[in-house]
Amino acid sequence: MPIDFTPTPGAARLAERTREFIRGAILQLEDAHGGDINAAGGDVFRERIQQQAREAGVFAPHAPTEFGGHGLDMRDRAAVFEEAGYSVFGPTALNIAAPDEGNMHMLAHIASPEQKERYLAPLCRGEIRSAFAMTEPAPGAGADPAALSTTATRSGGNWRIDGRKVFITGADGAGFFIIMTRTSGSPGDRGGATMFLAPAGTPGIEVRRHIRTSDRSMVGGHCEVVFDGVTLPDAAVLGEVDGGYRYAQVRLGPARMTHVMRWLGSARRAQDITLARAAERHLFGERLGDLGMAQQMIADNEIDLAATRALLLKACADLDAGDLGTDATSIAKAFGAEAIFRVIDRSIQLCGGLGVSEDLPLSRLLAEVRPFRIYDGPTEVHRWSIAKRAVRRAVTEAREQQR
């Protein structure tokens, strides 16, 4: 069955408006603050640029329409998110930055009506931010989510949560946390996880410190968070008890793809800067863009951009069809994270000294996208998972042929 990768007319118009908004209002703000959102003003700045996005009619393109969003599916999000990602501040302006965007997607599919009203609605409107508390210090959950060690145990008719999380994006200033806990089994078991919703002011929740990373564009940083005797009622359970891993898949695949969308925009920006430089820079008696080795690097950038976009859209089609897209999203994430990094790295090389200077945004773009080779699953883990499933299919086919 053929797959139509073309965005709907409405999404195409929204993508164009997003392009105009980002280039007309946001890029200059990013450059003025060196891509550091805390230097720009943190949450106060976020509220300012989100209001600008509302006025431009591009705010919350992915959010459900009943909560003020445009309700785009995954395919239609791709073009809009890519345009937003042309600036590292763009996703924050449109309220599509991680982790809020992924949390909105999951809450829209899993949360109860009461939970949607309390958490999803204000999140979609940009009134609060959120955090997804999954990753733990070793030997806890990280690339291997089954190592989950934060516990939720029954206590006096409620749940008591104890544990420590690290690299929790947006934790400082978040309005609420989605906490992944173990409610049964032991670390290493594949089941027994449960997600809880907890307001940030709940006693026992402590944002202990910021963990400094190379990226600077995410409000609230990446933090260490301690949960010490946090008491929550049954109404705080998101989904069902012991169903946390299954419910998390609703979030993880789409969130990986929206990461690809956003950072694909950054890679395209790097290529645009490179092409402008290649067209006007002369050396060795020739234009840079006419030199063979430069042409090869420019062509490789074009190939990586096109291939990433194609794999992304294939994965989005699978997700929109109701498939969790495990293979397609892993392939698109693994290839995209590496390809996006290559594009920006080549762009720096082609721009020479300017590439590593603050006169161009390339070095900060590289600092932003480098973590994506780790975030949402290291490339090596995705490759292992892709290979494991491929071998499993081959073994199954061989057995069927022997029958």
- Tens digit of each residue's pLDDT (9 = 90 or more) over 47-98: 999 999 999 999 999 999 999 999 999 999 999 999 999 999 999 999 999 9
Within-domain flag for 311: yes
CA–CA–CA angle 147, 151, 152 (5° rounding)? 140
Is the same domain home to 149 and 211?
yes
Is the same domain home to 254 and 236?
no
Within-domain flag for 293: yes
Is the same domain home to 153 and 186?
yes
Is the same domain home to 265 and 348?
yes
Model pLDDT for residues 215-273, shown as the tens digit of each residue: 999 999 999 999 999 999 999 999 999 999 999 989 999 999 999 999 999 999 999 99
pLDDT at 65 (0 to 100): 97
Within-domain flag for 122: no
Model pLDDT for residues 137-194, shown as the tens digit of each residue: 999 999 999 999 999 999 889 999 999 999 999 999 999 999 999 999 999 998 999 9
* Tally of domains within the chain: 3
Is the same domain home to 329 and 273?
yes
The pTM of this model reads: 0.95
Question: For residue 265, what is the domain's CATH number?
Answer: 1.20.140.10
Q: How distant, in Å, are the alpha carbons of 107, 159, 358 from that of 114?
A: 11, 19, 48
Within-domain flag for 232: yes
pLDDT at 325 (0 to 100): 65
- pLDDT exceeds 80 at position 13: yes
Residue type, 177: F
Is the same domain home to 211 and 68?
no
Q: Can you tell me whether residue 155 is helix, strand or coil?
A: strand
Q: Residue 10 and residue 16: Cα distance in Å, rounded?
A: 10
Hey, CA dihedral for 274, 276, 280, 286, is it positive or negative? positive
Within-domain flag for 263: yes
Mark which of 242, 266, 296 sits at the end of a domain: 242
Is the same domain home to 255 and 206?
no
Identify which of 362, 248, 343 has the alpha carbon closest to the alpha carbon of residue 302: 343
Is the same domain home to 58 and 88?
yes
Q: What is the CA radius of gyration of the chain?
A: 22
pLDDT tier for residue 323 given thresholds of 50, 70 and 90: confident
Within-domain flag for 206: yes
Question: For residue 62, what is the domain's CATH number?
Answer: 1.10.540.10
pLDDT tier for residue 1 given thresholds of 50, 70 and 90: low
Mark which of 242, 266, 287 sits at the end of a domain: 242
Question: For residue 142, what is the domain's CATH number?
Answer: 2.40.110.10
Within-domain flag for 88: yes
Model pLDDT for residues 361-401, shown as the tens digit of each residue: 999 999 999 999 999 999 999 999 999 999 999 999 999 88
- pLDDT exceeds 80 at position 347: yes
Mark which of 211, 242, 273 sits at the end of a domain: 242
Q: Residue 65 and residue 17: Cα distance in Å, rounded?
A: 18
User: Across residues 312-337, what is the average pLDDT?
Assistant: 92
Q: Residue 131 and residue 171: Cα distance in Å, rounded?
A: 5
- pLDDT exceeds 60 at position 317: yes
Computed over every residue of the chain, the mean pLDDT equals 96
Q: Residue 67 and residue 319: Cα distance in Å, rounded?
A: 22
pLDDT tier for residue 324 given thresholds of 50, 70 and 90: confident
Within-domain flag for 103: no
Is the same domain home to 207 and 195?
yes
Owning domain of residue 23: 9-97
Is the same domain home to 249 and 231?
no
Is the same domain home to 201 and 266?
no
Is the same domain home to 250 and 238?
no
Identify which of 37, 364, 91, 352 has the alpha carbon closest to the alpha carbon of residue 219: 37
